[in-house]
Amino acid sequence: MPPFDRLIRLAVPEDAAAIALLAEQLGYSVAPQAVWERLKHLEGDPDHAIYIAHSSSVAVLGWIHIYARQSLLVGQVAEIGGLIVDQNCRGQGIGRLLLQQAEQWAHKQDCRSIVVRSNTQRQAAHQFYKHLGYQGCKTQLVFNKGLPEVMEKRSHSSSAFGISAGE
């Protein structure tokens, strides 16, 4: 695919199915309806941006989610919430374009740095980030605890959107 045919734009809720499909390539199972709801929720939020890489022939080649957060210890920082390029399009500069767009956004948000977390097993991703000037700074365990009351509340409100997971 020629470089001039790659374009970057902000994601819209109609991209939900393609975003969910790409997420599956990295082992993240998320329903298109859930992505749609989250995109709607984040639409217009000045602290979040989701960019889509596309071409004239392919609606979504990849995506990146970046958000700004205020840290008590280091101030305003940006964090990449996700970066996925279609496995059939990797190595063509699409990830670099998405990351450059995210860096421009973070600069406009007056962020001091960009944080990206990558699974310890994703060696190709580590090399990608290092090649683009990112430095590994620590290895950590991530702990997660679901909050059943919140999950239950959200599952009931999801049905109000009237969207099936296949849309």
Q: Which domains does the chain have, with CATH numbers?
A: 3-161 (3.40.630.30)
pLDDT for 99: 97
CA dist 66 and 106 (Å) reads 8
| pTM, two decimal places | 0.82
Give me the numbers of helices (H) and strands (E) for the chain, helices first please: 5, 5
CA dist 124 and 129 (Å) reads 9
pLDDT for 5: 64
- DSSP-derived secondary structure letter, 56: S
pLDDT for 1: 47
Residue 161 binned pLDDT confidence (cut-offs 50, 70, 90)? very low
**Secondary structure class of 84 (helix, strand, coil):** strand
Q: CA gyration radius for the chain?
A: 17
CA dist 127 and 125 (Å) reads 5
pLDDT for 119: 87
The answer, yes or no, to whether residue 155 has pLDDT greater than 60, is no
